[in-house]
């Protein structure tokens, strides 16, 4: 099952600049915080940009050269933390943008990490499991000097999973000659993973979505939901929302959308995906279900629209047809800045990625602390603690939004960047303090 999830076909992505989007949000929060130019440069520049190339022997005996990246954006608040992506569209620019999102995310939810991101340009769908293992081991060797349990701690992202983390851990331990379970998170439970990590990101997305419903006096039983992406994040988001009584009218993956007005059975759909050779919904059927396009899913009249696939999915063009009350960004950067404006003008509230999908890194933090302390938490403790952190962070954002009139995203960036600016100043990296003292 782990192997199947690695071999899904990748997206053909619209070419849109995630880095430009993240910079735009950064600049607007920097202006609000009245950061001076040197602080802006300090906070927006990655501390390290690592590019590696390494040879891998393929199953047919040939040798392929792969390119990988690790960007370490900020260590002002703690060791670098961020996932590893295996996808043909991985670039240095995308990795930089995703690394800075990790810095703001960890700061927003108040966990003592900085931000990083890594990736390898590869096409998991066309590779065997043995080839993926060799790529992972070679990539680990190539960035070995830059990572470590108190230095930089990777985790899974698109195209990687628990199995990839196991190989990463094993290779790191072999090369270092010591057992260091805290060097990666998102590991299988049997080798030091945390209970609850698998479902954490999706559960966190669902917790925030349910809190937004409560904030707006909408009962879950009156809420309809459409979810784009049915991988690690989308499927667990769907499972928790369905359990809370919401009606999931549509889900989708790379094979298209699956629409059922009286509610898709998430339990059946998850079982189907787990058993399918490609790890997709292709061929999934239940009575009353029809196939729709991914674009049609984004335009459904629903209470909650949850993009949980990849970046740049809601663009200026298709944002005009979004009819949801709320968009909850489960993926990183799924709404372009131009689309964000369109949604705002339409009165649609967008919960930003740096809050909505932070449950994963919060539970990664619990996994790391368990590895370092040797103590373990129960599933219930992990999920309760994560829920509490997510709600505290949402409440802080709502408070700042109310006080300032900023959007949820702007408020989230202001809070997150303010804390990183303070840490950098206290460490003597920059004498220029931000001027908006309350944030
Ligand atoms: N895994 C985590 O813990 C985590 C944490 C925070 C953020 N994220 C972000 O969440 C997003 C999803 O990550 P994941 O870990 O679930 O990845 P995944 O590889 O497990 O799943 C991705 C899903 O999206 C689907 N998909 C791809 N292209 C699509 C398209 N055009 N239309 C509809 N569906 C499409 C795939 O078929 C798959 O179902 C990414 O943006 C990732 O960076 C993940």
Reply yes or no on whether the pLDDT at 2 is more than 70. Answer: no
What are 14-60's pLDDT values in tens digits?
335 788 888 889 999 999 999 998 889 999 999 999 999 999 999 99
Q: Do domains 43-186 and 199-356 have the same CATH topology?
A: yes
User: Of all helices (H) and strands (E), which one includes residue 56?
Assistant: strand 48-57
Reply yes or no on whether the pLDDT at 439 is more than 90. Answer: no
The residue to mutate among 102, 229, 251, having the most atoms of ligand 1 within 8 angstroms of its beta carbon, is 229
C-alpha 363, offset from chain centre: 13
Who contacts 263 (Cβ-Cβ below 8 Å, separation ≥6)? 242, 247, 248, 249
> ipTM of the assembly?
0.99
* 8 ligand 1 Cβ < 6 A: yes
Phi, psi of 16 (to 5 degrees): -135, 150
Lowest-confidence region among 47-51, 226-230, 426-430: 426-430
CA 361 to ligand 1: nearest atom? 5
Is-contact 407 327, C-beta < 8 A?
Answer: no
**What is the C-alpha separation between 95 and 99, in angstroms, rounded?**
6
Is-contact 434 32, C-beta < 8 A?
Answer: no
Written as one string, the DSSP assignment of 404-430 is H---HHHHHHHHHHHHHHHHHHHTTS-
Reply yes or no on whether the pLDDT at 150 is more than 80. Answer: yes
In the chain, how many H helices and how many E strands? 16, 12
Tell me the percentage of the chain whose pLDDT exceeds 90: 90
Is-contact 43 62, C-beta < 8 A?
Answer: no
* 97 ligand 1 Cβ < 6 A: no
If 0-12 CB within 10 Å is exposed, 13-18 middle and 19+ buried, where does residue 190 land?
Answer: exposed
Who contacts 416 (Cβ-Cβ below 8 Å, separation ≥6)? 103, 104, 105, 107, 108, 354
What are 188-207's pLDDT values in tens digits?
999 999 999 999 999 999 99
How do the residues of the chain divide into helix, strand and coil, expressed in percent and rounded to 5?
A: 50, 15, 35
Reply yes or no on whether the pLDDT at 433 is more than 70. Answer: no
Reply yes or no on whether the pLDDT at 9 is more than 60. Answer: no
Please report which confidence band the pLDDT of residue 3 belongs to, taking 50, 70 and 90 as the band edges: very low
- Please tell me the CATH code under which domain 43-186 is placed: 3.40.50.10860
Domains of the chain by residue range? 43-186, 199-356
Residue 364 assigned as binding residue: yes
Who contacts 251 (Cβ-Cβ below 8 Å, separation ≥6)? 226, 227, 230, 234, 238, 257, 258, 264, 266, 269, 281
Token pair of 184, please? Answer: 């990666």
- Nearest residue (by CA) to ligand 1, atom 44, is 157
pLDDT, position 438 = 58
Written as one string, the DSSP assignment of 118-136 is EEEE--GGGS-HHHHHHHH
Cα 185 to Cα 76, 98, 124, 153, 252: the distances in Å are 21, 17, 21, 7, 27
Who contacts 368 (Cβ-Cβ below 8 Å, separation ≥6)? 149, 153, 182, 185
Cα 292 to Cα 9, 252, 315, 326: the distances in Å are 19, 9, 19, 21
Task: Fold for 199-356, please state it.
Answer: Rossmann fold (3.40.50)
Question: What does the pLDDT average to over 152-159?
Answer: 95
* 233 ligand 1 Cβ < 6 A: yes
Task: Enumerate the H helices of 121-196 as residue ranges.
Answer: 129-143, 162-176
Mean pLDDT computed over every residue of the chain: 93
Is-contact 101 29, C-beta < 8 A?
Answer: no
Handedness of CA 2, 192, 81, 362 (dihedral sign): positive
Residue 81 assigned as binding residue: yes
Question: For the chain, how far is it from start to end, CA to CA, in angstroms?
Answer: 45
The residue to mutate among 231, 239, 313, 335, having the most atoms of ligand 1 within 8 angstroms of its beta carbon, is 231
pLDDT, position 22 = 86
Question: What does the pLDDT average to over 269-287?
Answer: 95
**What is the C-alpha separation between 220 and 383, in angstroms, rounded?**
20
Please report which confidence band the pLDDT of residue 431 belongs to, taking 50, 70 and 90 as the band edges: low
User: Is 0.95 surpassed by the pTM of this model?
Assistant: no
Please report which confidence band the pLDDT of residue 67 belongs to, taking 50, 70 and 90 as the band edges: very high
**What is the C-alpha separation between 38 and 116, in angstroms, rounded?**
21
SS3 5: helix
What are 323-365's pLDDT values in tens digits?
999 999 999 999 999 999 999 999 999 999 999 999 999 999 9
Residues labelled catalytic: 117
Phi, psi of 92 (to 5 degrees): -65, -40
Q: How far is the CA of 175 from the centre of ligand 1 (A)?
A: 31
């Amino acid at each position: 099952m782990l192997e199947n999830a690695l071999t899904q076909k990748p997206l053909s992505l619209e070419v849109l600049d995630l880095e430009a989007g993240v910079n735009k949000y950064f600049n607007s929060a920097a202006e609000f915080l009245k950061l001076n130019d040197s602080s802006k440069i300090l906070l927006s520049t990655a501390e390290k940009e690592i590019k590696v190339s390494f040879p891998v022997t393929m199953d047919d005996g040939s040798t392929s050269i792969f390119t990988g990246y690790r960007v370490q954006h900020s260590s002002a608040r703690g060791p670098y933390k961020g996932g590893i992506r295996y996808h043909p569209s991985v670039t240095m620019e995308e990795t930089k943008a995703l690394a800075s999102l990790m810095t703001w995310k960890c700061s927003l939810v108040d966990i003592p990490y900085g931000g990083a991101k890594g990736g390898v340009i590869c096409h998991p769908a066309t590779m065997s499991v043995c080839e993926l293992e060799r790529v992972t081991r070679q990539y680990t060797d190539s960035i070995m000097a830059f990572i470590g349990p108190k230095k930089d701690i990777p985790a899974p992202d698109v195209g990687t999973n628990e199995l990839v983390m196991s190989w990463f851990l094993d290779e790191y331990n072999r090369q270092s000659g010591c057992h260091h379970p805290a060097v990666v998170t998102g590991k299988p439970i049997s080798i030091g993973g945390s209970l609850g990590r698998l479902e954490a990101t999706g559960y966190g997305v669902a917790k925030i979505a349910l809190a937004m419903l409560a904030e707006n006096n909408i009962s879950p039983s009156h809420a309809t939901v459409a979810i784009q992406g049915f991988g690690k994040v989308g499927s667990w988001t769907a499972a928790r929302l369905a359990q809370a009584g919401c009606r999931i009218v549509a889900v989708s993956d790379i094979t298209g959308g699956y629409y059922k007005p009286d509610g898709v059975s998430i339990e059946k759909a998850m079982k189907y995906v787990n058993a399918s050779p490609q790890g997709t919904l292709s061929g999934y059927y239940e009575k009353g279900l029809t196939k729709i396009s991914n674009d049609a899913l984004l335009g459904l009249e629903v209470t909650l629209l949850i993009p949980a696939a990849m970046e740049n999915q809601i663009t200026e063009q298709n944002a005009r047809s979004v009819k949801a009350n709320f968009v909850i960004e489960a993926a990183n950067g799924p709404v372009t800045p131009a689309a964000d404006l369109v949604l705002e003008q339409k009165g649609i509230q967008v919960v930003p990625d740096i809050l909505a999908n932070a449950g994963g890194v919060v539970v990664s933090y619990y996994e790391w602390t368990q590895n370092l302390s040797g103590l373990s938490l129960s599933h219930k403790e992990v999920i309760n603690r994560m829920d509490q952190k997510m709600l505290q962070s949402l409440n802080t954002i709502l408070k700042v939004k109310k006080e300032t009139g900023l959007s949820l995203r702007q408020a989230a960036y202001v809070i997150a960047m303010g804390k990183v600016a303070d840490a950098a100043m206290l460490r003597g990296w920059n004498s220029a303090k931000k001027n908006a003292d309350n944030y």
